[in-house]
Amino acid sequence: MEIVFRLSDGNCQHAQSLSSLRPTDTPKPMHWPAFYLPSGRRNLLVRAGVSLVLLSLLAWKIPWRTVWQVSQEVRGSWLVVAELLAGLQLLLGAWRWKKLLEVQRIFLSFRASFRITLLGQCFNLLLPGSSGGDIVRFVVVQSFRRRARLAVALSLIYDRLLGTIATGLSAPILAIFLPWKTIPLSTRPLWALALGTASLLGVAGLFLLFLPHSVRFRNDRCGHRRSPFWTRFWATLRRYRSCRKICWLGLGLSLLIQWGGILLYGALARGLGVGLPLLVLGVVISLATSLCSLPISIGGLGIREASLVFLLAPLGIAAPVALAFSLASFGVFAFWGTIGGILFLFPPRGPLPTHPKTRGKPVPASAPLVGEKSPTLALPPSPSCPGELPKERETGSFTNMGEATQAWEIGKKIVARLVKAGFTAYFAGGCVRDQLLGRFPKDIDIATDARPEEVQKLFPKTTGLEGKCFGVVRVLEEGHTFEVATFREDLGYEDGRRPVSVRFATAQADALRRDFTINGLFYDPLREKVIDFVGGQADLHNRLIRAIGDPRARFSEDHLRLLRAIRLAANLGFDIENATWLAIREQAAAIKNIAPERIREELDRIWTGPEPARGLRLLDESGLLVHILPEVAALHGVEQPPQYHPEGDVFEHVCLMLSHLRQAPLELTLACLFHDIGKPLTARRDENGRIRFNEHETVGARLTADILRRLRYSREITEKVSSIVANHMTFKDVPHMRLSTLKKLMARPTFALELELHRIDCLSSHGDLSIYEFLIQKQSELSQSEIEPPRLITGWDLQAMGIPAGKELGRILAEIREAQLEGKIKDRSQALALAKELVGKTGGPIQS
């Protein structure tokens, strides 16, 4: 049987973050990190029955198209070694999260041939003891938006590390060293249960003890170094509020299944006379837990051991022999793990199986992709025309898979009508890229050799006459808008923005004048073929952003492409090819020639994308940040008090905050980006040498407003973000606030965004979420009417009492409002009485 491995890059230089851990809200083909070929091959009837249950679950929960994707993404069980190493390193704190993802990325780049893939999927369905729990586990992981990291980390550690340690160490103790002959037969199972559970709790306790100190993800540092153990432990778990229950459930199920495995392994391997009922009970527990355990899947371990011991114990085989046989059987099925480890340490060199040559000829669209698929939502592709057509394009954006599928079919009808009229027509640009990546396209562009006036004759509902000079016509069909552009080539650029003139040309010439290879693909929806003149498919497979032709020429034509390359790399999780990267660094200063509105649109797509932190780092490393946002670039090297900010300088702190955001509201992302922007101007050391940033929130609010106005943001966004920045230090005073002041804080229109900013700020620094949890509790205790009750009296009532309009009237109204929020007065009569009392103190007239 021939096994063919494929690498997304021959020298493994382009390992990137595992973007498939971030799910989306819409059903679409998902990337499944790993399935394992289970070890046992017995009890086929029982396992076949469970396979039917699994298939029913898949049919009910997952579209069949996704099931087909799963069948193409199956890996061999050699990934056990990768996960064991990753979990061990994570537990010891030797690697940061980025390194862990790189290991996973490299291992997932090895792909078996299609036949091996199908064979492995068949084995997984027939032997669900090890794969059943994995299916459920990764369904749950895919359901997380921001909190999948802890679930995956616990999965790696519990499934491969703790399971091996607990069973490997506890079972020999139970089987060999315990004086079984002196223990009555009736109480032996209880002894096995007690010792097995104790050993598991000990191992789990050690893990939990190490967790707050050792599991230090790159973006999620743990504070409370001097706090008690349980404070540190809960502070760690509170970072992942959405997974806390699931982690506890996984821990309980893990202990349960390990008890079943240890009891069977210890008692039956010694041949203590434990009968078939107990064996069946252990198998049932193992099987049931493997199906319902959410983040942990150790069910296969218990089933394998139960089957093994059931075969060996009746033969009178001694415990050491049984243990040796178990290790040998495990070693046989870890054979592929050994191969995977060797391939990881010593990647293959020389020629590897590659994709068909794509330059200049069609390639079937069904060719399997080597790069992992990202399930994140696709952002609108870059405009094909150098002219400005951004706002009308928004009308053609799709918001869900159903709408995109419908538009895809309507687009096919438009192409069919053009072809029927004797023209050539293809889908072009970003929609082809997104379709090949397994993402639904936001809009569909069509390229054709028909001239604009010929397109208008075929389709009566057309708009966009201002784009005819570039050969672009918008076609309105069945409620959707499609851009139909004539194949063209651009004849020189005058201002780094738009071509001097265009000339209608061939499809190949049209592809060669585009920005990046992954955007230069065409797709024939009638023949279902990809037409690739620029090598875009290979770069998709290798996850590379590469400029078409000479990168310097491409960027000099339209300087906005400098920023667009960063946006595509950040949002798709791709690398930037070396020559393209060098050209970006060389021409970074040219971005100042682009209109602020166009820069703002590209930045917004980065800030609201799946990886805003990576986008910020790429902007900084490319040299673009200092020309676009010099105030943010100035955050480098601004030291902070280590007792509150162990993560480092202000720039690192901002990057950590952005790493907590995944397609977050734009206002929140901007607030995270600018909340500490006043620190460079206010940094000083007091007489004790402590670093202080007095009034940095006030200075930062003014700078934020200036930046947002410079980038032509709306007044609403400018005022909202500036307000959030100005108020972000208010939360430190919450424990000492009066109830009325607290209610005023919670009644602010931006309070929800301010509270989330505070939570992310704490997670990215000291880790103390006590104020956040206090406010969450207050929100649950107080209704909206209690937080912001209607006023009991107005200024007109005070004027009727003889108080003229002015400062005194405002002061009295404020005191009455304070008393109302404090709960001292509750109705109008009490408010009027208090008003008379206050007016009497001022010596003014009182009219009844």
Long-range pairs, 121-125, Cβ under 8 A, ≥24: 121/35, 121/70, 121/71, 121/74, 123/37, 123/38, 124/35, 124/36, 124/37, 124/38, 124/74, 125/51, 125/54, 125/55
For β-strands 691-692 and 684-685, DSSP reports them as antiparallel
Residue 523 confidence (pLDDT) above 50? yes
Q: Residue 180: its pLDDT value, please?
A: 52
User: Helices marked H in 313-451 — which ranges?
Assistant: 319-333, 335-345, 390-393, 401-420, 430-436
518 shares a domain with 371: yes
Q: Residue 331: its pLDDT value, please?
A: 45
Residues 63-79 pLDDT 10s: 444 433 433 333 333 33
Contact 711/600 with Cβ under 8 angstroms?
yes
In a domain, 514, yes or no: yes
Residue 653 confidence (pLDDT) above 90? yes
CA dihedral 249, 250, 251, 254 (to 10 degrees): 120
675 shares a domain with 638: yes
Q: How confident is the model at residue 313 (pLDDT cuts 50, 70, 90)?
A: very low
Partner residues linked to 148 by β-bridges: none
| CATH number of 700's domain | 1.10.3210
Residue 741 confidence (pLDDT) above 80? yes
pLDDT greater at residue 240 or residue 435: 435
747 shares a domain with 720: yes
Rounded Cα distance between 622 and 613, Å, is 14
User: What is the chain's mean pLDDT, rounded?
Assistant: 65
Q: Residue 352: its pLDDT value, please?
A: 30
Q: Residue 406: its pLDDT value, please?
A: 82
283 shares a domain with 144: yes
- In terms of Cα–Cα distance, which of 23, 243, 255, 245 is closest to 139? 23
Q: How confident is the model at residue 793 (pLDDT cuts 50, 70, 90)?
A: confident
Q: Residue 6: its pLDDT value, please?
A: 28
Q: Residue 739: its pLDDT value, please?
A: 82
Residues 482-505 pLDDT 10s: 889 999 887 767 666 667 667 888
Q: Residue 619: its pLDDT value, please?
A: 95
369 shares a domain with 279: no
| CATH number of 432's domain | 3.30.460.10
Q: Residue 325: its pLDDT value, please?
A: 53
Which region among 57-61, 383-387, 809-813 has the lowest average model confidence (pLDDT)?
383-387
* Cα Rg of the chain, angstroms: 32
In a domain, 83, yes or no: yes
Residue 630 confidence (pLDDT) above 90? yes
328 shares a domain with 287: yes
Half-sphere exposure of 364 (CA within 13 A, CB side): 4
Q: How confident is the model at residue 840 (pLDDT cuts 50, 70, 90)?
A: low
Q: Residue 442: its pLDDT value, please?
A: 77
Q: How confident is the model at residue 469 (pLDDT cuts 50, 70, 90)?
A: low
278 shares a domain with 238: yes
Q: Residue 561: its pLDDT value, please?
A: 93
In a domain, 624, yes or no: no
Q: Residue 260: its pLDDT value, please?
A: 52
Q: Residue 657: its pLDDT value, please?
A: 93
SS3 231: helix
Partner residues linked to 88 by β-bridges: none
Residues 241-271 pLDDT 10s: 333 444 444 445 444 554 555 554 445 444 4
Q: Which pair of structure tokens corresponds to residue 539?
A: 């770069």
Residue 725 confidence (pLDDT) above 90? yes
Residues 191-200 pLDDT 10s: 655 655 555 5
Residue 232 confidence (pLDDT) above 50? no
Q: Residue 187: its pLDDT value, please?
A: 63
Q: Residue 285: its pLDDT value, please?
A: 53
Residue 627 confidence (pLDDT) above 80? yes
In a domain, 735, yes or no: yes
How many percent of the chain have pLDDT more than 70? 49
Contact 644/766 with Cβ under 8 angstroms?
yes
pLDDT greater at residue 540 or residue 117: 540
| Of the residues 766, 787, 808, the one at which a domain ends | 787
Rounded Cα distance between 657 and 675, Å, is 10
Q: Residue 462: its pLDDT value, please?
A: 82
In a domain, 591, yes or no: no
Residue 634 confidence (pLDDT) above 50? yes
Q: How confident is the model at residue 466 (pLDDT cuts 50, 70, 90)?
A: low
| Of the residues 485, 519, 542, the one at which a domain ends | 542
pLDDT greater at residue 678 or residue 477: 678
435 shares a domain with 316: no
| Of the residues 345, 375, 400, the one at which a domain ends | 345
Rounded Cα distance between 843 and 390, Å, is 65
In a domain, 1, yes or no: no
317 shares a domain with 415: no
372 shares a domain with 241: no
> What contacts 704, CB < 8 A, 6 or more positions away?
670, 674, 677, 718, 721, 722, 725
Partner residues linked to 428 by β-bridges: 445, 522
Quickly tell me which residue has 């820069």 as its tokens.
599
DSSP code, position 642 = T
Task: Label residues 617-649 b or e (16+ Cβ within 10 Å = b).
Answer: bbbbebbbbbbbbebbbbbeebebeeeebebbe
Residues 87-121 pLDDT 10s: 444 344 433 444 444 444 443 433 333 333 333 33
In a domain, 318, yes or no: yes
Q: Which domain holds residue 385?
A: 361-542
The number of distinct structural domains making up the chain is: 4
Rounded Cα distance between 560 and 423, Å, is 32
Which region among 41-55, 468-482, 674-688, 777-791 has the lowest average model confidence (pLDDT)?
41-55
Rounded Cα distance between 448 and 457, Å, is 14
Task: Over range 366-386, report the average pLDDT.
Answer: 29
Residue 60 confidence (pLDDT) above 50? no
Q: How confident is the model at residue 392 (pLDDT cuts 50, 70, 90)?
A: very low
403 shares a domain with 337: no
> What contacts 192, CB < 8 A, 6 or more positions away?
174, 262, 263, 266, 267
Residues 546-602 pLDDT 10s: 999 889 989 988 899 999 999 999 999 999 998 999 999 999 999 999 999 999 999
In a domain, 584, yes or no: no
Residues 127-169 pLDDT 10s: 333 333 333 334 333 433 344 444 444 444 444 444 444 444 4
812 shares a domain with 755: no
Q: How confident is the model at residue 202 (pLDDT cuts 50, 70, 90)?
A: low
